[in-house]
Amino acid sequence: MDNHLIRVGVIGCGAIGKEHVERLTNVVSQTKVVAVYDYVEKVADEVAQKYDAKSFASGEELIASNDVDAVVVCSTDETHAGYVVECLKQNKYVFCEKPLALTAKECEEMMAIESEQGHRLLQMGFNRRFDKGYVEMKKAIEAGEVGEPLMIHSAHRNIAQAAGFQTDYAITRVAIHEIDISRWLLNDEYDEVQVLKVKQSKRTSGDWLNPQLMMFTTKSGQRIDVEVQTDGAYAYDIRCQVVGEDGTLDLPDPAAVTKRKNQQVSYGLGDHWASRFADSYDEEFIEWATGILNDQLVGASTWDGYASCVTSDALIQSRKTGQPEKVTMIEQAEIYK
Ligand code: ISE
């Protein structure tokens, strides 16, 4: 890598992979996508041709290539851990979409390798940490503007899901954002979590529970409630209200023009996460590239990916037992402090 240009390889060129290739090419000035891989060869070849990159026969070959300085993993969930471990072993910077792994054990292995390499190599795809609204809320909390935060009320509402959605994904792919952003806002870890039974919508089908209501309790006793609608919501709508001793903080809606007509005032909320959080994805990759060039990553770490996996596991367990479940984590290694 020269001092200014990071040659990136992207593994997984599906929905979010394609978007990331586009922003790594046209938004982030410090990166160039030179390599791609997708298990559907044709998809990778098309992206390679469009962006003048090389299409690789496997993710492992892409990672091993001397022409690739850093890797972005946005393949299917169950493949994340294998690719990440490979990158860490080769001391290569890697960006991984959530979830980091399917099991907490795999995350522990990653942290051991990264610690051995002696510096942070991984940034997790928790884009909301770069969203202007959440960033401002965090600053206000840290400045003590609403006093000590006591609780968070939040909602994560989706209009639809891709085919093959399973009820666990409401936790591992959807609420995982609230798992991360709430502990980031409050700067605390969870003590226990629970999934509460709630009346089901007419859109519930089979084993897919919709909506789901989750409750997280931090070590200092703050409570976070998260309403998750995975299908049939009126918009893609993300709500977050921090309740402090002296006031409240509300996540703003996306910037939109207010329309006044027919004796009504309205503004659009949007229908999809990709447009709702586009700015935060851009910012996330700009920060990632800057972090690589300074050897100082600032986004969510392997520890944060691990924390979200442990919390997801406890929530899945709670849905089965109906009880609150403890969130038990290993000791935090030095490089994440
Ligand atoms: C989806 O599965 C995601 O991956 C997005 O990050 C999230 O914002 C969205 O609500 C989920 O449905």
Residues 38 and 118 occupy one common structural domain: yes
**Alpha helix positions (H), 65-102:** 80-89
Residues 83 and 158 occupy one common structural domain: no
Residues 78 and 199 occupy one common structural domain: no
Residues 171 and 212 occupy one common structural domain: yes
Q: If we measure between CA atoms, which residue out of 243, 244, 238 comes closest to residue 226? A: 238
Please indicate, yes or no, if residue 85 is contained in any of the structural domains: yes
Residue ranges making up the domain that contains 12: 6-125+279-300
Distance in Å, CA 118 to ligand 1 centroid: 32
The SS3 assignment for 219 reads coil
Distance in Å, CA 332 to ligand 1 centroid: 28
Distance in Å, CA 172 to ligand 1 centroid: 10
Nearest CA to ligand 1 atom 4: 173
Q: Identify the CATH number of the domain in which residue 225 sits.
A: 3.30.360.10
Residues 110 and 164 occupy one common structural domain: no
173 CA closest ligand 1 atom index: 2
Euclidean distance between CA atoms 244 and 312, whole angstroms: 26
Please indicate, yes or no, if residue 152 is contained in any of the structural domains: yes
Please indicate, yes or no, if residue 181 is contained in any of the structural domains: yes
CA angle 32, 37, 43 (to 5 degrees): 100
Choose one of 73, 97, 98, 177 to mutate for the ligand 1 pocket test, by most ligand atoms within 8 angstroms of C-beta. 177
Q: What is the pLDDT of residue 204?
A: 77
Choose one of 74, 172, 173, 229 to mutate for the ligand 1 pocket test, by most ligand atoms within 8 angstroms of C-beta. 173
Residues 165 and 266 occupy one common structural domain: yes
The Cα-based distances of 174 to 95, 161, 244, 296 in angstroms read 19, 10, 25, 28
156 CA closest ligand 1 atom index: 10
Residues 139 and 268 occupy one common structural domain: yes
Please indicate, yes or no, if residue 324 is contained in any of the structural domains: no
Q: What is the pLDDT of residue 168?
A: 95
Here the contacts of 112-119 (C-beta below 8 Å, separation 24 or greater) are 112/333, 113/85, 113/88, 113/89, 114/88, 114/302, 114/333, 114/335, 115/333, 115/334, 115/335, 117/88, 117/91, 118/335, 119/295, 119/335
236 CA closest ligand 1 atom index: 10
Residues 59 and 180 occupy one common structural domain: no
- Render pLDDT for 115-133 as a digit per residue (tens, 0 to 9): 999 999 999 999 999 999 9
H-run or E-run covering 248: strand 248-250
DSSP 8-state assignment for residue 127: G
Mean pLDDT by runs of 10 across the 337 residues of the chain is 86 95 98 98 98 98 98 97 98 98 97 98 98 98 98 97 93 98 98 96 88 98 98 97 98 95 97 96 98 96 98 97 98 96
Q: What is the pLDDT of residue 313?
A: 97
174 CA closest ligand 1 atom index: 11
Nearest CA to ligand 1 atom 9: 174
The Cα-based distances of 148 to 139, 186, 190 in angstroms read 13, 9, 17
With a Cβ cut-off of 6 Å, ligand 1 is lined by: 156, 158, 173-174, 177, 273
Nearest CA to ligand 1 atom 11: 174
The residue count of the chain comes to 337
Euclidean distance between CA atoms 265 and 230, whole angstroms: 28
Choose one of 19, 174, 228, 269 to mutate for the ligand 1 pocket test, by most ligand atoms within 8 angstroms of C-beta. 174
Residues 139 and 258 occupy one common structural domain: yes
- Render pLDDT for 133-183 as a digit per residue (tens, 0 to 9): 999 999 999 999 999 999 999 999 999 998 899 999 999 999 999 999 999
Distance in Å, CA 126 to ligand 1 centroid: 11
Please indicate, yes or no, if residue 49 is contained in any of the structural domains: yes
Distance in Å, CA 272 to ligand 1 centroid: 9
Number of domains in the chain: 2
Choose one of 131, 154, 158, 227 to mutate for the ligand 1 pocket test, by most ligand atoms within 8 angstroms of C-beta. 158
Please indicate, yes or no, if residue 220 is contained in any of the structural domains: yes
Q: Identify the CATH number of the domain in which residue 98 sits.
A: 3.40.50.720
Please indicate, yes or no, if residue 331 is contained in any of the structural domains: no
Reported pTM: 0.97
Q: Residue type for 267, please?
A: Y
